[in-house]
Structures are given as C-alpha cells and as structure tokens.
Structure 1
Amino acid sequence: MEYAPLDLPDNPQLLRNLAHFARALRVAGLPAGSGRVMDAARALASVGFTDRDTFFYALRACFCTRPEHLPIFAQIFRLYWRDPRYMEHMMSLMLPAIRGVAEERQAKPAEKRAAESLLDGITPEAPDIKGEDRPQDTEIEIDASLTMSREERLRSLDFEQMSVAEMAEARRILARLSLPVPPLLTRRYAADANGPKPDWRRSLRQAMRHGGEMQGFARKARRERMPALICLCDISGSMSAYSRAVLHFLHALSNAKGAGWSKVYGFTFGTRITNITRHLRGRDVDAALAAAGAEAQDWEGGTRIGYCIDRFNRDWSRRVMGQGAIVLLITDGLDRDDPELLSSAMQRLSLSSKRLIWINPLLRWEGFAPKAAGIRAILPHVDMFRAGHNIAALQGLAEALNARGDFNEKARLARMLSDAAS
C-alpha cells in the first residue's frame, strides 16, 4: 500500500516535536516506532490542528494499541503538549519530603513513568529542558533521617507501580536473589558412619572377612536428593507486569551455580501452555526473555487456566515432574473456563507434585477474598498460598519452601474458603 506524500510544508517544528514526543512514549514503554510516527503525521495532516480534542484523539489512535497504554499516553500528552508547568509539578513529586512544604498528592504510577520518560535523566539539580540553570538563591533542606534506602524501598514497591528506572533496578536485585531448598530424604539408605540406624548386612559382611568375629557395627542413613523446580507462569494481560518480573527471577534461578535444585523448568500459559526452559538457560537475561516471548505467542492475551493446566498434565507432567518436584503456580486465578475442568486439573497437578505453591499478586490487597470461581477451584488443591507482587514477596518463597507447618497452612486456606462462602 502506497501513501500519499505528507502535506506539512509549513510545520517542520511540529514534525520535530512529534518525533521527540514519540521518543518519550518509547521510553515509557509504548511501541512508538518510526512507522507510528509517520502514521501520526499523516493523521494530523488529515484532521488539522484547530481542535485540541481532535489533536489528542488522533495521536492516541496512532500510538495506543492496548488499554494499559491509555493512562501513560494521556500523562505524556499533558506534559508535552498541553501543560508545560506540569513537568515541574511532577519533578517536585519525585523528590523526598521537604520541610515546611506539604505535597499536594502522590504521583500515580503512570504519571511518574511519564515524567521520567520526558525528563530522561534530568534531575532537579540538573539544568532544565531549555538549558537554563535553576535559580540557586533558594536553599532546600531535605530530611532523610527516617526515609528508607532506595533498595529497601524497591523491595516493598508493587511491580505494577514501578517506573522504567525502578523496574530496571528491581531486575538487577532479582538477579541476585537465591531460593535455597532443603534436600528430600529418599527411602533408600547409604553407608554413614554417624547414621541413626545400624546396617546389619554390612556389619555381617565385615565380620565374615575376619573369620566371623565382629569388629564393629556399621551404620546407615537415608539418602538425600535435590528436588526439581517447575514454574507455571501466567502471561495473560492482567498478569503482564508481574510475570515479567517472575521470569527474571526464574532466569536467575536457572543460571545460579550451587542453588541446590536438580533442574529448573519454566512454562508460560495464557491460552496455551509453552515450554520456555531452554530459553531461560541462556546467559543473557534480555536475549533469553526475548526468545521466550517469541516462543509464547499468547503473551498478554486471554486466560484459560484450566485448559492449560490440563494440557501440562497430559503433555509434560511425566517428562519433568519426576519424584518430589516442587511446583510454583504464578497466576491471579481469574479464569473463564469451566471451574470443574480447572478443579480436576489442579487436583491431578497437586497429586503429582511434592509441594504446590500458589503465588497470587491479588493477595497484596488486605480485603482479598476468594470470590471468583477460578480462585475457589484452585485453592483447595494448593499447599501454600503466597503473594507475589514485589521483591519482598518473592524473597519470602524461601521461607515458604522451608516451612513445616503444612497442617496450619491447610487449615488457613480452608477458613479462607469458608469465610468467602458465608
């Protein structure tokens, strides 16, 4: 398809501003490539520039392809085209608390990401956009005595509320995390001088070498082996911000030396189940996740949890589960399939695994209750139910894996279901 030439001979500054606007959108995470910039220029040439609302909706139609792009686009549009002083307001919201000055409100995640994409490295101490230095006659006193360190704050910040820079720093923290796991005791025994049980057969064999005279008693202990880790990660639209962080964490586990896991397997599911294990074994995390994203064609699509878990049980369970595998299920439980199918699939998954841990970002809400049919279908078959909305929650997985109070956890989940039913 051939396009007509652009009819903007008298607006070279508009084209430059449009290119810079698209660059800010790309930094904020929107797919604003050169093709969309050309489409936006053609759209503006068609609709004109007299009506402010028409100008806004023409650009939004060209640059926004998903509902989650709309608030970010609206804030960047306001910053760049409609309210020049709003950028100074956003910069003030990004500062710590200043004595004697009360903040008007807290910046929303989309606003903060939009401000950082336009600032692009400009700090309140650096020159502003026009190149003019800020006035030095005002001394600002900052009280940081009760503030948390940057890393400590990131550990408690929700993945969905992180800016572009904060998410990059969070990924570096996730790459350093470890997930130790206790070894599993098998039913077989091995020779052990300090073992709890006597090894009569070995003791008699040793006595026969000395003419039937007992030289001592050999002892034995049960053998230990390390379990495998299987991660089933939901990549639907409602889980996209959390699944990317979890996959970074899973990549670090797959490439960690001396982590203790016999094997680490990764699967993604939305409308179908996809094995991304071989991609996670790549050394470069960006290349590994890019290959995994290309393999999983249903990224940020719909959700069919019951169907995908059932396909995993049929196609992959016997290949990767083995004996004593620990399964991490990362999903919000919002399923559109038949709850009976989901319940039966989860029951079979639970029986095939040593421990089934459900990580649900919805647990970040204090008033969470298992009201959805999918959540009620999953909950009776899991051994542990944990939140997974920030770094601290992922760090708590180590405590969950080493916990021994399974009975108390089952009782807590049963009370949760009964309270929701009543």
Structure 2
Amino acid sequence: MPTADPGVRVSVDPRLVARTRDHLAAFLRALHDAGLSVPATKQRDFHAGIEAVAPSTTGQLYWVGVATIVTSESGHPVFDEVFRRFFGSPEDAVLVVDEPAEAPEEQDGDDDEEEQGSAPAGDEVEDLLVTETSGSGLRAGLGSPELPKRFGRTSASAHAVMREIAAELPRAVPRARSRRHRPGRRRHRVDLRAVYLESRRTQGEIVRLRWRHRPTQPRRVLVLIDVSGSMKQHSPDHLRFAHTVLATCSGAEVFTFGTRLTRVTAALRHRDVDEALDSLAPLVLDADGGTLIGESLTELLADPHVVTMARGALVLVLSDGLERGDCTAMVGAVGRLSRLAHQLTWWSPLACDPAYRPLTRGMAAVVGDLDALAGVRDLETALAQVRSSFSHAPAHHPRRRNHD
C-alpha cells in the first residue's frame, strides 16, 4: 500500500471544510433540541477534541463526543440516537487493537500473582484520583478534571455552626412586602367587606373598624458557588452553607460553577448533609478545575426561570473572582445580575485579609455593582456574615443601591 510522502503538503478543499463545520453545528443543535444540554463550553471542548484527536473513523468521533458532551448516564441514549442520525452506527467504537492478543496456553503461578498484583487496589485507585485532582489551588485555570469530587465528612463542630446559621438566617434574609392584603391589626387599609358583614349583625351600625395590611415575607435566595481549583479549600464548607440555606429558606436555589454551570438544588435538599454532598459527585464534574465565571453567569442568565427567580432576590456569590482570560462576559453578567437582584453580595476568602483590595481585572470591574463584598472562607466566617445580615463590607465600601 503506498504511503504519503511526509514532505508533500496535502491541500484541503475549503468547501469540504465548510460543509463539515456546518454538519457538526447541525449535530450540536440537534442534541440541544433532543433535550441534551450542550452549552458553549461543551461545544468548545468538542471542537478542541476533534482538532486534537483528528478522528479518522466513526468510532473515534463517537468517543470524542461522549468524552466532551455527555456528563450523565441519562444523556447517553439521547447522544447515541442523534449520533446515529448524523454519522451512522459507530461500529468501530469498541475496537481497541486490530487483532486480539493470543492467550497463552499455560501460565505459571508466579505469573498469576504478578498479573493480580499489577491492578491497583481500591485504596490505590483513590490515591490516583487524589493525585490527578491535587494542586496548590492558588491560581485560576481553564481545564476541567472531569473526575468525581469527594468531600470529607462533616465534623461535629461544623454541625453546631450550621445549626447556628439556620437559627440566624430567618432574621438575616431581607424581607419584602407581600402583594396581597391580609386581615390584621395594622391600620393600613380598611377592610370594607369585613366591616359590612359585621354591620349586618348590628342593624347597620358600625361598631368597630376592621383592617387589612400587607405582611412581609422573606425574599428568595439564590446561591452561586465557585468550585474551581482556586476555591478547593473552601468549596466544601460553602456547599454545607448552601445546604443550610435550602433547609431554612423556602424557594432557594443553588448553582455551582467552574468551567460549567450546574444546578445542585435537588441534590442538596437531602436531609443529611454528608449524603447530600456525596450525591454531588456525579453532577459537579468540574470541581477543582478551571474558572469561567463570565460564561457560567451568562448561561445562568440565559434561563428565563432563573431570571424570574433572581428578580428582587438576595443573590449570594461565593467566589474569589479570579476569572481566566477576558473579563468582558463576567462584567456584563454581574452588571445584569445586580440590576435584577434586590441585593447582590459577594463572599470571597481573599477578603478575609484586612489588607485585601479588589485589584484583579474582574473584581475591580464588578465591585461597583455589588451591594457588599465580604470575607468568607469557612462556616465560622459565614456565620459572622449572616449575623451582620449580609451587609458588612471590608475597608472599601461598594456603591449601595436602593431597591423596592
């Protein structure tokens, strides 16, 4: 079989490249229409995987798509069906080598022991996972480890702090007046219907006035937690705080973000905090990875349901604000979130240092849109901020805004 000369440049028809690009774009749109979420980050990873692998068979293209797009078991059937529609059946997807290796007829006992000892034990596998996800956690990155994140057990002292937070939250969360009037003693509006019905029992005489008022109710709470590598030391306690918020505040929502946005409200509603954190392992696959704050917040605000929930709510962002690359998307998303929310509070572990100033490009650009910027690195500092009703700010004082 003749082989191509490596010194000869192969020309590619630009029309073929354009058709291929259009076909891949149609494939991604079909996945979205079929119910499989393919945000911009996944699309970028998919194209980067194609460039890196340069698949020459349908099976290779199939595994590139699975590795970059499918993040849950429920997504596999949807992906498989759409893939067959666009590229056919990936019959070579299961092939590893051209020919299977011939099994030896006889094996000595020593070989058996050596073969058994070559496979890592359970503890060793866990050590390998820890090695893959380890790092200093001091810089923002761009990659995503795509490995399940395991959180440690909650200590007895942490449980005690969580109980204190739960007791303080009802008083700390801002309140808003209800749109409906209810009977009460506050003299806000005369309850004409109640006065009329009572006067019928006294031959038309008005003996006592009845009143209606608009009672207050807690505002909704939206918690956004940064789980990137630079926050790996703090995200477990931040998730425990979010678990307490969901158990205390009705209608609260929690999202995590690193290189992608993940809604974790349902998983964190489990009564036991440790089981709730364990259930996040198959969901939050970008933990301890890179940081794409702007893209994650932009994706959040693209959901009309989230926009409706954020309007007039307390929005709490737990992040160090170390955005990677261009900060334009982050500035625009934070500005819009600030206009929607009743109060936008940013908790950063870096702000625990009294000498901290928001001098990074991202934080310097968005600090004017925040109602408060405070230092929170664990449950104890979170309790201190809750006791100050989310309003304490460090040395600098961001512009305050009045909301209805």
What is the TM-score with the length of structure 1 in the denominator?
0.55
Q: Distance in 2 between matches of 1:364 and 1:322?
A: 27
SS at match of 1:252: helix
Alignment match, 2:397: 412
Decide whether aligned partners of structure 1 residues 69 and 331 sit closer, same or farther in structure 2, where only a CA change above 3 A counts.
closer
Q: For residue 386 of structure 1, report the CA deviation from its aligned partner.
A: 1.5
Q: For residue 379 of structure 1, report the CA deviation from its aligned partner.
A: 1.3
Alignment match, 1:375: 363
Q: For residue 203 of structure 1, report the CA deviation from its aligned partner.
A: 6.3
| Pairs within 5 Å for 1:387-402 | 387-401=375-389
Q: Distance in 2 between matches of 1:315 and 1:170?
A: 38
Decide whether aligned partners of structure 1 residues 67 and 307 sit closer, same or farther in structure 2, where only a CA change above 3 A counts.
same
| Pairs within 5 Å for 1:186-205 | 186-192=178-184, 194-199=185-190, 201-202=192-193, 205=196
Are 2:188 and 1:223 aligned? Answer: no
Q: For residue 232 of structure 1, report the CA deviation from its aligned partner.
A: 0.4
Q: How many pairs align?
A: 275
Q: For residue 235 of structure 1, report the CA deviation from its aligned partner.
A: 0.6
User: Aligned AA for 1:277?
Assistant: T
Structure 1, gaps ≥5 residues long: 10-14, 37-62, 71-163, 416-422
User: Aligned AA for 2:309?
Assistant: M
Q: Distance in 2 between matches of 1:409 and 1:349?
A: 22
Q: Over aligned residues, Cα RMSD in angstroms?
A: 4.1
User: Aligned AA for 2:332?
Assistant: S
Q: Distance in 1 between matches of 2:332 and 2:318?
A: 18
Q: For residues 237-292 of structure 1, what are the alpha-carbon distances to aligned partners after superposition, in whole Å with 9 as ceiling and x for unaligned? A: 001121111112222332x3xx3x22221100011111011101123333322222
Q: For residue 233 of structure 1, report the CA deviation from its aligned partner.
A: 0.3
Q: Distance in 1 between matches of 2:194 and 2:396?
A: 46
SS at match of 2:322: coil
Aligned residue among 284, 309, 313 for 1:296: 284
Tell me if structure 2 keeps the 8 A contact 1:321–1:353.
Answer: no
Decide whether aligned partners of structure 1 residues 212 and 227 sit closer, same or farther in structure 2, where only a CA change above 3 A counts.
same
Tell me if structure 1 keeps the 8 A contact 2:195–2:210.
Answer: no
Q: Distance in 1 between matches of 2:308 and 2:161?
A: 25
Q: For residue 317 of structure 1, report the CA deviation from its aligned partner.
A: 4.8
What is the TM-score with the length of structure 2 in the denominator?
0.57
Are 2:226 and 1:234 aligned? Answer: yes
Tell me if structure 2 keeps the 8 A contact 1:174–1:252.
Answer: no
4+ residue segments displaced more than 4 Å = 408-411
Q: For residues 164-194 of structure 1, what are the alpha-carbon distances to aligned partners after superposition, in whole Å with 9 as ceiling and x for unaligned? A: 89x73454334423142344223432211x2
Alignment match, 1:168: 155
Alignment match, 1:362: 350
Aligned residue among 255, 269, 278 for 1:267: 255
SS at match of 2:315: strand
Tell me if structure 2 keeps the 8 A contact 1:228–1:326.
Answer: yes
Q: For residues 106-148 of structure 1, what are the alpha-carbon distances to aligned partners after superposition, in whole Å with 9 as ceiling and x for unaligned? A: xxxxxxxxxxxxxxxxxxxxxxxxxxxxxxxxxxxxxxxxxxx
Q: For residue 66 of structure 1, report the CA deviation from its aligned partner.
A: 4.4
Alignment match, 1:342: 330
User: Aligned AA for 1:173?
Assistant: A
SS at match of 2:250: coil
Decide whether aligned partners of structure 1 residues 280 and 316 sit closer, same or farther in structure 2, where only a CA change above 3 A counts.
farther
- Percent sequence identity is 25
Aligned residue among 131, 141, 154 for 1:64: 131
With a CA cutoff of 8 Å and minimum separation of 6, indicate the structure with the bigger relative contact order: 2
User: Aligned AA for 1:180?
Assistant: L
Tell me if structure 1 keeps the 8 A contact 2:374–2:394.
Answer: no
Tell me if structure 2 keeps the 8 A contact 1:306–1:337.
Answer: no
Tell me if structure 1 keeps the 8 A contact 2:191–2:212.
Answer: no
Q: Distance in 1 between matches of 2:369 and 2:265?
A: 25
The more displaced of 231-240 and 214-223 is 214-223
Q: Distance in 1 between matches of 2:309 and 2:325?
A: 25
Tell me if structure 1 keeps the 8 A contact 2:260–2:292.
Answer: yes
Decide whether aligned partners of structure 1 residues 325 and 410 sit closer, same or farther in structure 2, where only a CA change above 3 A counts.
farther
Are 2:294 and 1:306 aligned? Answer: yes
Alignment match, 2:145: none
Alignment match, 1:146: none
Are 2:173 and 1:181 aligned? Answer: no
Alignment match, 1:331: 319
Q: For residue 334 of structure 1, report the CA deviation from its aligned partner.
A: 0.5
Q: Distance in 1 between matches of 2:336 and 2:307?
A: 15
Decide whether aligned partners of structure 1 residues 307 and 170 sit closer, same or farther in structure 2, where only a CA change above 3 A counts.
farther
Q: For residue 69 of structure 1, report the CA deviation from its aligned partner.
A: 7.3
